[in-house]
Amino acid sequence: MIDLDDRVVRGYLVQLLGEEGVTMIEKMPEGEVTDEEISVATGVVLNIIRRNLFIMNENKLAVCRRERDGNSGWLTYLWHLDMKNIDTDLSKEKKRLVKNLRIYLEFEEDNMFYVCPDGCVRTLFDDAATCEFLCSECGEDLIFEDNTQVVEALKKRLKELEQN
Q: What is the pLDDT of residues 7-25, one digit of tens each?
A: 888 888 999 999 888 989 9
17 and 77 co-located in one domain: yes
| Residue 164 or 141, more confident | 141
pTM: 0.66
Q: pLDDT value at position 5?
A: 77
Domain-located, residue 96: no
Domain-located, residue 55: yes
117 and 75 co-located in one domain: no
80 and 12 co-located in one domain: yes
Question: What are the b/e assignments for 86-112, b being 16+ CB within 10 Å?
Answer: beebeeeeeeeeeeebeeebeebeeee
Residues 67 and 61: their CA atoms lie apart, in Å, by 20
Of the pLDDT bands very low, low, confident and very high (cuts 50, 70, 90), residue 39 is very high
59 and 131 co-located in one domain: no
Q: How many CB atoms lie within 10 A of CB 31?
A: 10
Q: pLDDT value at position 130?
A: 94
- Please give the residue range of the domain that contains residue 157: 111-163
Q: How many CB atoms lie within 10 A of CB 123?
A: 22
Domain-located, residue 39: yes
Domain-located, residue 103: no
